[in-house]
Structure 1
Amino acid sequence: MAQDTTPNAALSNLQVMKRNGDLVACDPSKISVAMSKAFIAVEGDSAQNSSRIHELVQSFTQNIIETFQRRMPAGGVIHIEDIQDQVELVLMRSGEQKVARAYVLYRDKHSRRRAAQEKGITNPHPSINVTHLDGSKLPLDLGRIDTIVSEACEGLEEVDKKLIIDDTLKNLYDGVPVDGVSTALMMAARTLVEKEPNYTYVTARLLMDNLRREALSFLNVAPEATHKEMMELYPKALVAYVAKGIELEQLNPALAEFDLEALGAAIEHENDKNFSYLGLQTLYDRYFLHCDDVRYELPQVMFMRVAMGLSLNEAKPTERAIEFYKLLSSFDYMASTPTLFNSGTRRPQLSSCYLTHVPDDLEGIYGAIKDNALLSKWAGGLGNDWTQVRALGSYIKGTNGKSQGVVPFLKVVNDTAVAVNQGGKRKGAVCAYLESWHLDVEEFLDLRKNTGDDRRRTHDMNTANWVPDLLMKRVFEDKEWTLFSPSDTPDLHDLYGKAFEARYEEYERMADAGEVRLFKRIKAKDLWRKMLSMLFETGHPWITFKDPCNLRSPQQHAGVVHSSNLCTEITLNTNEDEIAVCNLGSVNLAQHVTDSGELDVDKIRNTVTTAVRMLDNVIDINYYAVPQARNSNLKHRPVGMGIMGFQDALYKAKTAYASDAAVMFADRSMEVISYFAIKASSDLADERGRYESYEGSLWSQGILPIDSLDNLIEARGAQFIEVDTSSTLNWDELRTLVRKQGMRNSNVMAIAPTATISNICGVSQSIEPTYQNLYVKSNLSGEFTVVNPYMVRDLKERGLWDEVMVNDLKYYDGSVQPIDRIPDDLKALYANAFEVEPKWLVDAASRRQKWIDQAQSLNLYISGVNGKKLDITYRMAWFRGLKTTYYLRAMGASSVEKSTVDRGTHNAVSSGSAPTTTAPVAAPVAPAAAPTPAPAAVAKDDFELSGAAAEVPQACSIDNPDCEACQ
């Protein structure tokens, strides 16, 4: 019987070798199907029913089969690629070039798909290739993009996966770098943040894909990974990371002695989902360890590294590291920036703040400047006490000459801070303090001016007034004030309260009698006016109060508080032998408020107890750049636990910042934190021993911070102070416990600015009110759209969140007050910092201050600034018993009408800087209240400030990336 050669019959004498090596019988029908698809691709579905095309396909197939039969008449093996080559050739020879092209594209598509599948790419893009780190090019994996974006959107409401993917693909090109794919994904998501705050979490999770690729590749753990895969890869990454960090001489070799398997198992990969984009980008840019600019540290690994570093001296280090890790990675508490930078490294400088004393001799002065440089190198913020240095014109016995005063030395300090930045990670930062009776104080006030002799200006450092109560009393009483050189009045520097007043008045009598020749008499109000005027014009010097810092200090028996620190929250003793050191960390108050708006007291107890232990560990593990710092820190063991997320906590409690309820919340929350912080330190004393200088302290006398208010009231006089002394907890029980067990730490609490760590945790800074509800935040990591998620949630619930609302918020610089359709209760709740009268900031701070053994970084926001308003605000701060104030954030009284801009289409978000002008806003949420004392004196003191109101020089532009205090 003749051999069957029809195209549709299998040919038993010919076999086809598939690409995987398998042999199958040659089936001509499969050749026909492939060519038919090529015709359909060119001519459409009508080709399926075309007899002409059917006949062509049959003829071409027969031609191809006959070709192979001629080549192999006895049969044989044909490779699949050879068959496809023949199909292309037949189509081209027959003149079907378009069909041949379709077949070639079809063949290439499947070739790419096979090649991609061999590399694990499940759904390759038909035309876009990605250039990987090793230079290879592979098809863009649409399947992986879908997985990554799906993971990024998981659990988040009102985010659109498809929108992100579609926008991303529009911005990709053939040969795009692998990092460029991640960047395109992030850009697609971050542009949507202003419309839906949850996109900030989507963007952060997309950024994590880049971070994982970079770190895991460097550690040879995996080329890349999805979020879900990190459950298994994080433990492996931790082991590889510790080994690599030790090899690179960046990590402490002692970390290898931990039970890394147990620590790896404790890592919560799901916590990676808690980052906002700003928080994660900040970690990447400034915190992660790196080698040759490659970050090989991942977020949970970083938190574990910090926890391990803080557990080195524990009896059970692995167990404690897990406890510390859980607290940090949950964002319930966050260590300070130096601790995050350096814990677990070979040079663990973990402390945040250093306070130094500058003596009145050349060797001592330049020794103090050298100490500044050494401390700044390892990321320490500095506060220098310069009061003891003699004034301009003072006699120099050794040379029979006259002193040039303090200012020329401060110029050297300024330039040292610029030259020695904080390990290359952030600008060096120092604040010089001078008491307000110093003869150089008037020139000191001018240091930050942009006019005058530049050799006597310090444009890069901070300055602060150290104001005695006696000056404030004389301001209220409209009396004269005398300026002295400390070379003539050396003991004033170490005196405070009634002792200072008595000795100061004695020096004034001596000056009247000619026994002190170098002095100057001025009206107290004139000096006060200039202090406020310079604060308004230049943002410096800040106003801090000497007497409350000393009269309420637990360590009065051991020395004198001569200054505060860089951010005005630390109040520790200093002398020539002791540089005060403080170790900071902050409780995330927003994480300790229940859904019903109540404080979670049990959670606060647990968080604070662990946090105080972590802070105490810092003291023993810490690297000390100078011996005076080590001496002081080991002797007194001060720590400063603070809070952040206060505004977020108020939002969760549905409480407006400008309200009595917010003041009560500030009081209650700080009382609970203070109670458990003191108890935790006392329990540590029972476990580890009391601090060395405990005996004689207020603690040893059973006097707690709330009790030390009596010292201030008695010394100042009741007519010059108004403070609340109420309490709700059983403080008698705690006093008894402290007398019995003692204290592990001389000081326990201080509220720092938390500018960067609050970004990491995605909450409001420290005790700050909301800056704006929609704005662009600028810092060292770039620019980030920030929108108030609580406001968006409430507006959505009332059906008010739409494109028009977004544009209105842009138009009004993030303010809800001028937008008519927003209800009054939401206007009160979401009033921004400049719409909350400073009275509320001061009142809330006063309630917190009564529970704190140190101080708090209190920024004051004042709109429509004039001399009278500044005068009232700062007198009120003193009258309410505050120890310190920090930056003045001022906004001009005049406004600019945006008449050329259509409200419905305006798209420019205001800059991150505090504006010098502002659009009209509604009336303030609450009226300003003058301080209770001497209202008549305040009312007639309506002085004018220099500078036009419409061009207000800013104290410190909000989130200025060059401003250390904002980092």
Structure 2
Amino acid sequence: MQTDTQTSPTASGQAPQDNQRDETLAATAPGQLRVIKRNGKVVPYTDDKIAIAITKAFLAVEGGTAAASSRIHEKVAQLSEQVTATFQRRLVSGGTIHIEEIQDQVELALMRNGEHKVARSYVLYREEQSRKRAEKAKTTDTAAPAQGGGVQVTMEDGSTAPLDMARLEGLVIAACDGLADVKPDKIIGETVRNLYDGVSIRDVNTSMVMTARTLIEQEPNYSLVTARLLMDNLRAEALQFLGVAERADQAEMEALYKDALKAYVFRGIELELLDPELGRFDLDKLGAAMKGERDMQFTYLGLQTLYDRYFLHSNDVRFELPQCFFMRVAMGLAVREDDREARAIEFYDLLSSFDYMSSTPTLFNAGTLRPQLSSCYLTTVPDDLFGIYGAIQDNAMLSKFAGGLGNDWTPVRALGAYIKGTNGKSQGVVPFLKVVNDTAVAVNQGGKRKGAVCAYLETWHMDIEEFVELRKNTGDDRRRTHDMNTANWIPDLFMKRVIEEQEWTLFSPNNVPDLHDLYGEAFEKKYLEYEAMTRDGRLKLFKRIPAVNLWRKMLSMLFETGHPWFTFKDPCNLRSPQQHVGVVHSSNLCTEITLNTNKDEIAVCNLGSINMPRHILPEGGLDLVKLEKNVRTAVRMLDNVIDINYYSVPQARNSNLKHRPVGLGIMGFQDALYMQKIAYTSPEAVEFADRSMEAVSYFAINASSELAAERGSYATFEGSLWSQGILPIDSLEILARERGDEKYLNVDRSQTLDWNKLRDVVRTQGMRNSNVMAIAPTATIANITGVSQSIEPTYQNLYVKSNLSGEFTVVNPFLVNDLKARGLWDNVMVNDLKYYDGSVQPIDRIPQDLKEIYRTAFEVEPRWLVEAASRRQKWIDQAQSLNLYIAQANGKKLDITYKMAWLLGLKTTYYLRAIGATTSEKSTINDGRLNSVSAAPVAETASFEQAADVPQACSIDDPDCEACQ
């Protein structure tokens, strides 16, 4: 039986010309799967080697009889296809896989298909081969330990030299320093065993990284070790390019960072990548303030993400080191401050400590020649051809410089509406949305990430039924948008009609133009007038349907395609501080921004997030002193973005400078619960959501008011809710009054801080920013800082995460530490977690208290997510990106969940993550095979009410939205 499934039987002794051929094959197949062998070489992925290995495993158990041969052949073909399909699904655009990952997947496939005896044989053989390699390495190490077995290394200039074992050992030992339960000898020994004569110095470093990487699932601290070893490659690449040094270890970098910053800034200016103004900072002072030891706090996923997508580069050479990166962002945000060196150091300290992180566009572009630092843009599309295509051009320009887009399409007349200019009839909204979809694909944010846009349509628009079907995989493809996002902009009146099972009337907006700008009681009054006009013949173009039927279709499409999202017009407007100067017509790409838009104003929002785990006291609870200090600095940084920002369209500049909105959010909420031993499914978690957001809200509003005292209030402050002393918590009363019936709003009103004092401060001192808070998804910046994203529950406790930087093993360190404390963490537990897709619930030996704390997202009832979101929403002047996870999803569950979201006062919801009943539990059936799960959407013929009987997986291709953060 061959254990190296992607190498020939003589891999370790492969001829040099074969190695060269393999490298050529790998190099000529970009976008294809490639395999990292134990010696660090990269070769093409071929499934025939997998088939050979599995065949030998079967033969070792069942023998080679004629009777067994046919079955073995069929099973091998099936299993090989499953293993390959797994990697193709994870790495759609190609990528690299370590040999150990392939073997793990083969082992898992055997177990999941009920071939337990064969799997056991395969595991035993792997262990035997591993023992043999270890014995061989011992012999090699005994013969020549100081020289690494006599291995000659090819240096960057082509010369050769003996492997520097002292340096290799020093790097690994330094990478493991201060970390519990990691073994330097294990990494050193395996690295040396994988080397061969003539190996390049780069492959030596790669071998160290890959060796450490394979151990992450056994011990989360190996993620930090892997990142520190990766840092050696990053340092060498950047320092050589800058001419500062050939190589340097972490200890040497403490002294080198000062010189590196200076060389980096001037080289960046020379290459026309950095703003020349950065060269006029006191770089010696800033260099002395940098903290090189903070390079040691990255996880592997975080550092690799920065390296691949954020660090500045020239001809694919990254010359930006982590602390230089944070200082560059800090300098870019402090460039207009009076004492800019002091402010740059303050901003740098906040970013590099991971206490707070700016959003992705700010990290991409701060300090560059085009500092497009804003995250979100909201537009309203007018009802004329010139305006429509102007809006699409605006989309392209805003997307080019890394902005996420939300478009309000409600004003555009519906299918069949009269066009006076041509005496014809309109084709409606849908054909234009197809163009918007293709524009988002074509303009991919400067090659850094996918372009992303969300179209919003109000629920009374006559095209709404076709709009909700835009993401379907069936039907006329010319009327489908497979890449863009969509959202329902739902008025309260529709929700009341659904609950009361009344009729609902659809209109074309050119016949009812004022509905677009009305909300609350005013909307309801006018809507009833238009309905009366349909009954007496004054209004001809309309459609009347039962509200419940449309509601069910909305839920059905959401379940099947993930779209359109449910967002609520009235709470967004009635609780908006800016209702005196305009209307909120939509949210943004990720549903957390609620700002006014019109033909002259494209709303802009600038985002950043407080890292909650960094503000938890050792004994539990929030460190309010630290939180207040950091929120004050964060709001200042966000306000600076508005003046520094590069605006690609004039309407965005006009809006942003007039209203100055920002969106301070939070991330790592789940980690903060873990630190306090609080289960997400508990009243304590809901209470923590309430109290933590109350504190952030209080400090953020106060910080903006302090900035107003220093810099002046925003231009449209007078007449706002702020100017009347009405804070976000107070605006709930406006919503309650407008809904008119207590049964339609059920929100906790408790508070603990001195809000009367803050009301007086805001009234007299003013506000620098029209809006201050919004909770964004934080998918990527949470990766960088190594915490759970946004307000999300843990997806799985052990899983492989795929993003644009590749594949990364992610294991819940809090769970691992708790299991260690109880003597339960071992290889068997690792395998159990893999087998049960990261869930602890089916593992009998895990105590019940830990099972409650470590429930995964689909094991948390959605009511807890909605209740916690409601408690946060009462303190937020904008909204929050709220994903809803629903296991055993069916029509009734969705109906209850989304009605509850509205009744509890939520402004918006984001993705629905739904799995049907057949995927919620794995059990062994009679033939010994595990239940298979289909990733296909619900069949067209399936009843929505019975959808739980259809195998379901989340229909979202990319569950981590990275468009905002």
TM-score category of the 2 structures, normalised to the smaller one: 0.7 to 0.9
The question of whether the paired residues in 1 share the 8 Å contact of 2:331 and 2:367 is answered with: yes
Match of 1:430 in 2: 453
Is 2:885 aligned against 1:857? no
Match of 2:574 in 1: 551
Tell me the CA shift for residue 175 of structure 1.
1.8
Segments of structure 2 that go 5 or more residues without pairing to the other structure are 1-139
Is 2:178 aligned against 1:160? no
Q: 1:637 to 1:874 in 2, by over 3 A?
A: same
The question of whether the paired residues in 2 share the 8 Å contact of 1:263 and 1:322 is answered with: yes
The question of whether the paired residues in 2 share the 8 Å contact of 1:590 and 1:648 is answered with: yes
Q: Does the residue aligned with 1:894 lie in a helix, a strand or coil?
A: helix
Match of 2:798 in 1: 774
Q: What is the TM-score with the length of structure 1 in the denominator?
A: 0.83
Match of 1:761 in 2: 785
Q: Which amino acid aligns with 1:858?
A: L
The question of whether the paired residues in 1 share the 8 Å contact of 2:892 and 2:945 is answered with: no
Q: Percent identity?
A: 71
Match of 2:950 in 1: 950
Segments of structure 1 that go 5 or more residues without pairing to the other structure are 1-108, 114-121, 918-941
Query: Out of 720, 730, 743, which is 1:697 matched to?
Result: 720
Match of 1:245 in 2: 268
CA distance in 2 between partners of 1:208 and 1:794 (Å): 29
Superposed counterparts of 1:98-137, under 5 Å:
124-137=147-160
1:353-372 deviations in Å (ceiling 9; x for gaps): 00011000000000000000
The question of whether the paired residues in 1 share the 8 Å contact of 2:451 and 2:963 is answered with: no
Match of 1:624 in 2: 647
1:205-264 deviations in Å (ceiling 9; x for gaps): 000000000000000000110000000111110000001000000000000111100110
Superposed counterparts of 1:487-636, under 5 Å:
487-636=510-659
CA distance in 2 between partners of 1:900 and 1:247 (Å): 66
Query: Out of 703, 709, 730, which is 2:754 matched to?
Result: 730
Match of 1:868 in 2: 892
Q: Does the residue aligned with 1:585 lie in a helix, a strand or coil?
A: strand
1:662-682 deviations in Å (ceiling 9; x for gaps): 000000000000000000000
Is 2:745 aligned against 1:721? yes
Tell me the CA shift for residue 127 of structure 1.
2.2
CA distance in 1 between partners of 2:374 and 2:665 (Å): 14
Query: Out of 835, 838, 848, which is 1:814 matched to?
Result: 838
Q: Which amino acid aligns with 2:893?
A: K
Match of 2:828 in 1: 804
Q: Does the residue aligned with 1:388 lie in a helix, a strand or coil?
A: coil
The question of whether the paired residues in 1 share the 8 Å contact of 2:382 and 2:388 is answered with: yes
Is 2:429 aligned against 1:417? no
Tell me the CA shift for residue 914 of structure 1.
11
Match of 1:13 in 2: none
Match of 1:211 in 2: 234
1:521-579 deviations in Å (ceiling 9; x for gaps): 00000000000000000000000000000000000001000000000000000000000
Match of 2:902 in 1: 878
Match of 1:843 in 2: 867
Q: Which amino acid aligns with 1:248?
A: L
Match of 2:775 in 1: 751
CA distance in 2 between partners of 1:843 and 1:166 (Å): 51
The question of whether the paired residues in 2 share the 8 Å contact of 1:533 and 1:946 is answered with: no
Q: Which amino acid aligns with 1:802?
A: D
Tell me the CA shift for residue 864 of structure 1.
0.1
CA distance in 2 between partners of 1:449 and 1:151 (Å): 53
CA distance in 2 between partners of 1:468 and 1:562 (Å): 11
CA distance in 1 between partners of 2:798 and 2:200 (Å): 33
Tell me the CA shift for residue 597 of structure 1.
1.4
Tell me the CA shift for residue 953 of structure 1.
5.2
Tell me the CA shift for residue 965 of structure 1.
5.0
Q: 1:205 to 1:916 in 2, by over 3 A?
A: farther
Q: 1:523 to 1:389 in 2, by over 3 A?
A: same
Residue-pair matches, total: 817
1:723-760 deviations in Å (ceiling 9; x for gaps): 01110000000000001110000000000000000000
Match of 2:306 in 1: 283
Is 2:221 aligned against 1:201? no
The question of whether the paired residues in 1 share the 8 Å contact of 2:662 and 2:769 is answered with: yes
Q: Does the residue aligned with 1:174 lie in a helix, a strand or coil?
A: coil
Match of 1:231 in 2: 254
Q: Which amino acid aligns with 1:285?
A: D
CA distance in 1 between partners of 2:934 and 2:302 (Å): 21
CA distance in 1 between partners of 2:623 and 2:412 (Å): 49
Superposed counterparts of 1:49-88, under 5 Å:
none
Q: Does the residue aligned with 1:703 lie in a helix, a strand or coil?
A: coil
Q: Which amino acid aligns with 1:782?
A: G
Is 2:674 aligned against 1:651? yes
Match of 2:29 in 1: none
Q: Does the residue aligned with 2:664 lie in a helix, a strand or coil?
A: strand
Match of 2:491 in 1: 468
Match of 2:194 in 1: 171
1:88-142 deviations in Å (ceiling 9; x for gaps): xxxxxxxxxxxxxxxxxxxxx9xxx9xxxxxxxx954352222222222222111
Q: Which is greater in Rg? A: 1
Q: 1:643 to 1:610 in 2, by over 3 A?
A: same
CA distance in 2 between partners of 1:127 and 1:489 (Å): 83
Query: Out of 293, 302, 310, which is 1:270 matched to?
Result: 293
Superposed counterparts of 1:956-967, under 5 Å:
956-957=956-957, 959=959, 964-965=962-963
Q: Does the residue aligned with 2:704 lie in a helix, a strand or coil?
A: helix
The question of whether the paired residues in 2 share the 8 Å contact of 1:889 and 1:914 is answered with: no
Q: Does the residue aligned with 2:613 lie in a helix, a strand or coil?
A: helix
Q: CA RMSD in A?
A: 2.1
The question of whether the paired residues in 2 share the 8 Å contact of 1:536 and 1:953 is answered with: no
Query: Out of 457, 467, 489, which is 1:444 matched to?
Result: 467
Q: 1:707 to 1:943 in 2, by over 3 A?
A: farther
Match of 1:63 in 2: none
Q: What is the TM-score with the length of structure 2 in the denominator?
A: 0.83
The question of whether the paired residues in 1 share the 8 Å contact of 2:404 and 2:453 is answered with: yes
Match of 2:340 in 1: 317
Is 2:211 aligned against 1:191? no
The question of whether the paired residues in 2 share the 8 Å contact of 1:538 and 1:953 is answered with: no
Q: 1:861 to 1:345 in 2, by over 3 A?
A: same
Q: Does the residue aligned with 2:648 lie in a helix, a strand or coil?
A: coil
Q: Does the residue aligned with 2:511 lie in a helix, a strand or coil?
A: coil
Match of 2:421 in 1: 398
Tell me the CA shift for residue 293 of structure 1.
0.2
Q: 1:749 to 1:505 in 2, by over 3 A?
A: same
The question of whether the paired residues in 2 share the 8 Å contact of 1:396 and 1:403 is answered with: yes
The question of whether the paired residues in 1 share the 8 Å contact of 2:555 and 2:895 is answered with: yes
CA distance in 2 between partners of 1:227 and 1:809 (Å): 35
CA distance in 1 between partners of 2:922 and 2:612 (Å): 39
Tell me the CA shift for residue 177 of structure 1.
1.9
Q: Which amino acid aligns with 1:443?
A: E
Tell me the CA shift for residue 958 of structure 1.
5.6
CA distance in 1 between partners of 2:480 and 2:208 (Å): 47
Match of 2:51 in 1: none
Q: Does the residue aligned with 2:908 lie in a helix, a strand or coil?
A: coil
Query: Out of 658, 662, 668, which is 2:691 matched to?
Result: 668
Q: 1:624 to 1:700 in 2, by over 3 A?
A: same
Match of 1:24 in 2: none
Tell me the CA shift for residue 701 of structure 1.
0.3
Q: Does the residue aligned with 2:390 lie in a helix, a strand or coil?
A: helix
Match of 1:33 in 2: none
Tell me the CA shift for residue 178 of structure 1.
1.7
